Each structure stands twice: as C-alpha cells, then as structure tokens.
Amino acid sequence: MDSKIVEIFIPGPAGRLEAKYYKSKKSTSPIALILHPHPQYGGTMNNKVVVDTFQIFKENDFSVCRVNFRGVGKSDGEFDNGQGELADAAAALDWLERENFDNSQCWIAGFSFGSLIAMQLLMRRPEINRFVVISPQPNVYDFSFLSPCPSSGIMIYGNKDELVPVENINEINKRLSAQKGINVEFISVSDANHFFSNSEKELKKVLNKYIKKESALY
C-alpha cells in the first residue's frame, strides 16, 4: 500500500464503520486509534483536534486510524449512548491490530466524549500501553472506573475550558497520581477552551513532545 491516508470501511457490530487510515512504511511501527467527540453535538472523525492528533501520530511514524462512530458520516447504525460506540472502537482496534500484527506499541487517543470511550477501551484491552486524552469531561462522565488505571498516558485540557470546571480535572489528577507503577501527565494549555479554538498550535506542541518521548522508549 502506498503510504497515503486512505478511506476505509471497517466491519463493526452495527454495520460498516467509515475510517481514515495511514500505514507506516516501517515494520513494527506503533499503532494508534483516535476517537472523536460526541456524535449528537456534531462530533466526527474530521473534527480539527482529531485530524491534528492523527497528523502528529502520522509524522511520528505510527500506523494510525481515526474512525466515525455508528451513525456518523458514512458509518452504519445510530447513536447508542456510549455502549455501542465502545463496541465500535473495539472493532476498529481489532482491525488496526490485524493490519499491523507486528506493532511495537498500541496507543489509544480520544477527544472530549471520545476520551471517555478511549479510557473504557483501555480498561478492556491489556495490549494498550499508552493513552492520550484531550478535554476529558469528568464533570459529565464518571471516570471512577479507572481504578486502577492500567497504563501511563497524558491528559491535556484547556485552563479556560468552558464545559469542565478545573476542580473536576484536579480530582481525577489526584486519584491517578496516587497510583503506583503508572505515570499520567496532566498538561494545562493556557487560554485554551474545550475545543482548543485558537490554541491548536500549543496543543500540537504538547502532543508531539509526549508522543516523541514515549514512543522512543520502545
């Protein structure tokens, strides 16, 4: 396959899932799956933050996939309050792993609602060894299932997030930092809102630095 970003369709539990995929030329390259914000509020895999995250993984030589949940874009099915979306993410990860059976690392990334699904998938899939969470909403979704959190990762949030009070972020930070054996970095981007409007550059810098540092460990 030519190393270009291609449109693909992944067999999912509710029909086919539309996705974009880039395959690294490097064998044993790490893999990453990226999940988008809430479908009922306009979230798709073409969301700016999702596309930027995809690009940074691509530039760091990952084989990377971003996928539309059921009912979004050309994906079959309809919104299922998170449960179906988790099943979709698991199917996408299965596909990505089959395509890259010799991968050296497995990463999951999610933005907003996508970060909830990403962390739920992390709890079910022991092969995921790093995560990237952008704009989590612990005030809306209960993240207490991360006990213990099985892998190290990064949580990035805007200090002007209009949807999430900072005390909710601090609380999850406190709980995760008390866990032994993992390291979850919490990075606050100054002046950034929930969607990182006008703060895309800063977000990309944080992402690139973390991905470079952690993927070099393997």
Domain boundaries, the chain: 6-215
Q: Is the peptide bond before 148 cis (omega within 30 degrees of 0)?
A: yes
Decide: residue 216, CB within 10 A, 0-12 exposed, 13-18 middle, 19+ buried.
exposed
- Find how far residue 28's CA is from the centre of its chain: 20
pTM of the model: 0.97
Instruction: Express the helix, strand and coil content of the chain in percent, nearest 5 each.
Output: 35, 20, 45
Q: 20 falls in which pLDDT band (50, 70, 90)?
A: very high
How far is residue 71's CA from residue 189's CA, in Å, rounded to a whole number? 32
The pair of structure tokens assigned to 134 is 């952008």
Looking at domain 6-215, its CATH architecture is 3-Layer(aba) Sandwich (3.40)
The pLDDT tens digits of the residues spanning 147-184 come to 899 999 999 999 999 999 999 999 999 999 999 999 99
